[in-house]
Chains A and B, each alone.
Chain A
Amino acid sequence: MKYIKDLSIDNFTKFSHVKFEFSKEINVFIGKNGTGKTHILKLLYLIQRLSQSKYDSNSVIQSFKTIFRTENLDSLIRNFQSDDFTINFHRLEDEKDYYLQYISTEKRIDYKLPEKQETEGFYFPNQEIISSYLEFIPIYDKYDLGWEENIYTAAKALFLPKLKETTSFQKNILPKLASELGGTLLKEEGKFYLQNQYGKIQTSLLAEGEKKLASLIYLIENGTIHSSTILFWDEPEIHLNPKLITVFTKIFNAMASEGVQVFLSTHDYLFSHQLSLLDEYRKDITEEKVSEIKFFCLEDTEEGVAVYSGKNLTEIPNNPILEEFSNHYDRERELFVRTLKDE
Chain B
Amino acid sequence: MSNFTFKEGNQKFIFKSSWDKVLQFDKITDYKNISNKVTCTKGVDFLGIFQGKKICFLEIKDFRKELKKSEKLENVDSLCINVAQKIKDTLAVILVGSRNSTNENEFFKKILKNFINSNTKIFCILHLETNNKLNLTTYQSKLKEKLGWLSCKVLVVNKDTFPPDLDISVEDV
Contacts and interface: CB of A to CB of B under 8 A. Distances in A.
A328 B161 CA distance: 13
B60 interface: no
A333 B163 CA distance: 8
Interface stretch (A201-209, A304-312, A334-342): A334-342
A336 B144 CA distance: 12
A340 B161 contact: no
B121 A329 contact: no
A322 interface: yes
Q: How large is the interface on A (under 10, 10 to 19, 20 to 34, 35 or more residues)?
A: 10 to 19
Nearest to A327: B133
Given A333-B161, A333-B163, A340-B165, A326 B50 contact: no
A116 B163 CA distance: 63
A181 to B, nearest CB: 28
Contacts of A80: none
A340 B154 CA distance: 11
B133 A340 contact: no
Interface stretch (B5-13, B24-32, B72-80, B134-142): B134-142
A230 B135 CA distance: 35
A326 B161 CA distance: 11
Interface residues of B, number: 18
Interface in B142-172: 153-155, 157, 161, 163, 165-166
Contact of A329 (B123, B133, B153): B133
Contacts of B54: 340
Nearest to A321: B134
Nearest to B56: A340
Contacts of B153: 336, 339-340
A332 interface: yes
Contact of A333 (B50, B123, B155): B155
A337 B165 contact: yes
A325 interface: yes
Which of B154, B161, B163 has most chain A Cβ within 10 Å?
Answer: B163
22 contacts: A325-B137, A326-B133, A329-B137, A329-B140, A332-B137, A332-B155, A333-B163, A336-B123, A336-B153, A336-B154, A336-B163, A337-B165, A339-B121, A340-B50, A340-B121, A340-B123, A340-B153, A340-B165, A340-B166, A341-B51, A341-B165, A342-B121
